[in-house]
Structure 1
Amino acid sequence: MTKARLTALFAIPFLAFWTYFMVSAFGSAKCHNLIYPAQDRLAACRGGDARLGFLMTDAQRAGNAFWQGLALAELGQTEDARTAFARSFLLKWQAAGQSLPRFERFVAEDLRQLSAPSVTEETREIWRDALKDPRPR
């Protein structure tokens, strides 16, 4: 095999994988940015789960579930938002290794995100309700 063919043999698959993951990652970034409309953020979160979910850690899945909950609450889908927040808490508990101090750091990060001016008090109440009882309904 020539050097050019060998280069092509490795370069083409590398570029294909790199393009897939970079496009997916940039598309998922919209999920975490409150300047976008809730519908767009929700679509980005769900798309990120579908495209990159197999690579995500529990902490990343928990963050994604939290942002989905924010978008769903903003869209008025209260029960779905509560379910997303509850899933987020369960994943954070797993990611924390069932360590209360580590779990509290995750919750503190949620509180920081919830303090944004664009987040409504109703959304905060849904989040608090899910924190009190994160079991699926």
Structure 2
Amino acid sequence: MPSFKNLKELEKYINEQAKKALQNGKYVKDTVIETGKKYVDKEVYIYQPKQYERTGLLRESWDVENTDDGIAVFNTRTDGEKYIPQVIESGIGYDYTGYGYAYEEPRPFIAETRRELKDSNILKEAMKKDLKNAGFDVE
């Protein structure tokens, strides 16, 4: 363990190590993605379409990128140029009219994913696992 001249240096070191654990770990990433999939099921796949067969790609299209702050987890589902998560989340831009009207109700699977991650301990517990795997003794 390196030595530190002051608390600011210690804080910087801890933040750097936490960022590395987050970027190299799997538990936080998996937790966010699995929570996102759960809310695709709860908010979007709440009915069985009668006019088309659902591909399931919204549920399975997730990616993770390292950022300056840690990671970004996001849904990547597109249809041509259209970013499908934004359409579904907002209800704006939906152009399927198989029911005789355009479905324009927001189905906030991203907002609900964020809410659960913020309001529960599941993200904290996942981060503890990633830190432990990086060699830190955390409670």
TM-score (norm 2): 0.28
Relative to its length, the structure with more strand (as a share) is: 2
- Bigger-Rg structure (1/2): 2
Relative to its length, the structure with more helix (as a share) is: 1
